[in-house]
Amino acid sequence: MSEKQAIISAFTDLAPRYEKVVDGELKRFWGWSYDGFIENLIAMTPMAEEDVVLDVATGTSVIPIKLVEQGKIKGQVVGLDITQAMLKRGQQRIAALGKPTCIALTCGSAMAMPFKDNYFDVILCGLATHHLDVPVVLAEMRRILKPGGRLTIADVGGAANWRLPGIRTLIRLGTFLYFWPKEGFARARSEAGALSHVLTPEEWRTKLADYEFTQIDITRLPKSHNWAPAPLVMAARKGLG
């Protein structure tokens, strides 16, 4: 099973209970509710009502629905995800709102996004980049953002010593053994394999600058346990050049 297949399999199984499971995991490791984490991500992202917004790895459409419910966006909100089952669950949640919305869901890879250049004013991405090839995703985000467009990414942050072979192996093994009995082999495989994509704040700053993002601001959010890796929020703008 490839890493991509493991991710799709894991999140296909997770889709019916996604919000509940993620809420429990965030509370356990960071002391954040899922709703509170998403509220914080949105609050840290300047946007205007008329902006065209993309939520990368939207899952069950929690972010697009929150934007519409809060009246933040009157223009278009697009949710992109590679897993059909997650999008199906998201569409059910959108239908449950009982009114027309500006939300459109698209199935596709964050590493080859099916959108034209310079299209979006704002891109959001919550709790997903550890499953992705970060340089490829940043290149795609830069391509589809308008000049001066805003990008906000929230995810787990790493530490420099995680790169040491012995520590990396121990973290991978511990992650796999934590998730396997709770969520099954595919989720355990996908989360353990994600370690190589987890970046330190300094690595995030360097990679964002490499792809010509400017006004880079990286915030380390509070967490409830000293042993847990810190949640990070990376905010930046696409350069005007």
With 80 as the cut, is the pLDDT of residue 160 above it?
A: no
Nearest to 232 by CA among 40, 6, 13: 40
For the chain, percent of residues with pLDDT exceeding 90: 69
Q: Cα separation of 13 and 236, whole Å?
A: 33
Name every residue whose Cβ is closer than 8 Å to that of residue 202 and which is 6 or more positions away in sequence. Answer: 160
| 31/175: higher pLDDT | 31
Looking at the predicted structure, is the pLDDT value of residue 187 above 90?
Answer: no
Mean pLDDT of 75-95: 96
Over 80: is that where the pLDDT of 161 sits?
A: no
Calculate the CA 68 to chain-centre distance: 19
Q: Is the pLDDT of residue 41 over 90?
A: yes
Q: Which amino acid is at 11?
A: F
161 CB-contact burial (10 Å; exposed 0-12 / middle 13-18 / buried 19+): exposed
pLDDT value, residue 194: 78
Q: Give me the pLDDT at residue 5, please.
A: 83
Return the percentage of the chain with pLDDT > 70, whole number.
Answer: 99
- Classified by CATH at the fold level, domain 3-238 comes out as Rossmann fold (3.40.50)
Q: How high is the pLDDT of residue 43?
A: 95
**Which token pair is 237?**
């703008």
Q: Is the pLDDT of residue 1 over 80?
A: no
How many whole angstroms separate alpha carbon 120 and alpha carbon 52?
5
Name which residue leads in pLDDT, 107 or 188.
107
Record the tokens describing residue 96, joined without a space: 């449950």
The domains of the chain are located at 3-238
